[in-house]
Amino acid sequence: MKKIVVLNPKGGSGKTTIATNLAAYFSTQGMEPTLMDMDRQGSSMHWLDKRFADLPVIHGVAAYENQMRVTRSWQMRVPPQSQRVVVDTPAAIDPQALPDITRGAQAILIPVLPSDIDIHAATALISNLLLIARIRRSDGRIGVLANRVKSNTLIYQALMRFLRNLRIPIVGVLRDSQAYVRCAEQGIGIHEMKPHNVRKDLEQWKSILSWEKSRPASALPSVGVV
């Protein structure tokens, strides 16, 4: 089992889009992934509710809920057949919570939008991951993802310069595509759409999936309660 945490305390960075599309891809591979939603807005669970029953299985955990009738460990349980756990995190996370959120994660994926505010927020987040969560760059667990970009713009070029200076792997670049809007509306992922309609988007996902696949499942302790 692997745990992938999609993380950025800056709201609107595309965490839910990345998390749901990862879960959808893993489901198409027969991995029966678990999608864990920590955000009180419940966007990932809302996406999952829209998903038709005949689509590949994705298990959902509404981690933001406080269920009084069951223990927290029971509420957060992951089915044993799940080969991937994808965690969609909330905005405005207290930096002191980062060690708990990232514990046991083989991959920490940080989507960053091409804007000065997002670049500043990503800088602070990575600093907190290194200093507070004590994640070492050499572990290779952190990957940054340029999200909703429009190539050949000055802000895109500035974003890529910033990401290269971080000394953190740039695992992918996703364009600003309406295909993700349609995915959100239908409870599906980009890999479940007709390939000829999303050829460019599928091509961009290859590097992200390759990086995730390269993270060994046995490198860290098994997934526990977030």
221 within domain boundaries:
no
198 within domain boundaries:
yes
123 within domain boundaries:
yes
Q: Mean pLDDT over residues 170-185, rounded?
A: 95
226 within domain boundaries:
no
- pTM (2 decimals)? 0.91
Distances (CA, A) of 141 to 35, 49, 130, 220: 19, 30, 11, 10
Average per-residue pLDDT for the chain:
91
Query: Considering just the CA atoms, what is the radius of gyration of the chain in Å?
Result: 17
Q: Which residues pair with 36 in a beta bridge?
A: 61, 87
Q: How many domains does the chain have?
A: 1
219 within domain boundaries:
no
Which residues, at least 6 apart from 175, have a Cβ–Cβ distance to it below 8 Å? 148, 149, 150, 151, 200, 201, 204
What is the domain range of residue 26?
Answer: 2-213
Q: How confident is the model at residue 216, as a pLDDT?
A: 86
220 within domain boundaries:
no
171 within domain boundaries:
yes
Q: How confident is the model at residue 218, as a pLDDT?
A: 52
Asked if 111 contacts 147 with a C-beta cutoff of 8 angstroms, the reply is: yes
Q: Mean pLDDT over residues 167-177, rounded?
A: 92
| CATH number reported for the structural domain that contains residue 182 in this entry | 3.40.50.300
Query: Is the per-residue pLDDT at 18 higher than 60?
Result: yes
144 within domain boundaries:
yes
